[in-house]
Amino acid sequence: MLTHRQIWGALDALAARNGLSASGLAKLAGLDPTTFNKSKRATDNGKERWPSTESVSKVLSATGASLDEFVSLVDKTGRTKRHVTRSVPLIGLARAGSRGFFDDAGFPVGGAWEEIPFPDLTEDHAYALEITGDSMLPVYRDGDRIVVSPTASVRRGDRVVVKTVTGEVMAKQLARTTAHHVELRSFNPAYDDLSFPLSDIVFMHRIIWTTQ
């Protein structure tokens, strides 16, 4: 049986996974910023308020999360909480295009990676990149760290890390994938959107977490 705490806990977890507060998640989904505030989760007389299926649907669409992923977050909030961490390999985004950091499958390799503690993930090959500069404002700021999954499915609208055959590594939003091209949208309007032939893409990995 689903509980009030589980559903709201899953929304909070989804917000945190995207580097957002509850109000930030609501705004991203096109809802009133106060929709998910803790004060809205119960009436004045203490009766529980539940998020609507429409608001949950809008959140999943805005974040690119699947229903299965949301259900897994619901399941996790129903268990006894344990603060489990593991080490995630970390390098700067600007260095990621150099040779020796990824194997042919796009997984992090080599001894030049630093390590940072991070909440345990089901993704065994996750890695972190540190943002430098202002080219990704307002989404990512200098010093932000993004956690990336080489195995998560990628869909239109997802935030992704892309490596090209020239060695360039960039964080963008996936605008569209056709039979022959990949179209990427820049976060910063001062920078042009990009389009690459599929043959020019070494890998495209989904960004699953942001620490700010």
- The domains of the chain, with CATH numbers, are 4-77 (1.10.260), 85-211 (2.10.109.10)
Mean per-residue pLDDT, 174-188: 95
Can you tell me which residue has the tokens 């429409």? 54
pLDDT at position 162 over 80: yes
pLDDT 10s digits, 125-152: 889 999 999 899 988 889 988 989 998 8
All residues at 6 or more sequence positions from 182 whose CB lies less than 8 Å from its CB, including other chains:
162, 174, 176, 195, 196, 197, 198, 201, 204
pLDDT of residue 120: 60
Band of the pLDDT at 189, cuts 50, 70, 90?
very high
Q: What is the mean pLDDT of the chain?
A: 87
Residue type, 188: N
Question: Cα 104 to chain center, whole Å?
Answer: 23
The answer to whether the CB of 65 falls within 8 A of the CB of 28 is no
Mean per-residue pLDDT, 4-13: 89
pTM above 0.85, yes or no: no
pLDDT of residue 131: 93
The answer to whether the CB of 193 falls within 8 A of the CB of 182 is no
Can you tell me which residue has the tokens 């299965």? 68
Mean per-residue pLDDT, 49-58: 88
pLDDT at position 81 over 80: no
pLDDT of residue 65: 84
39: helix, strand or coil = helix
- How many contiguous H segments (helices) and E segments (strands) does the chain have? 4, 9
Contacts 24+ apart (CB under 8 A), 172-180: 174/204
pLDDT 10s digits, 61-79: 888 888 878 888 887 665 5
pLDDT of residue 91: 93
pLDDT of residue 178: 93
All residues at 6 or more sequence positions from 66 whose CB lies less than 8 Å from its CB, including other chains:
60
pLDDT of residue 84: 56
pLDDT-above-90 percentage for the chain: 44
pLDDT of residue 83: 47
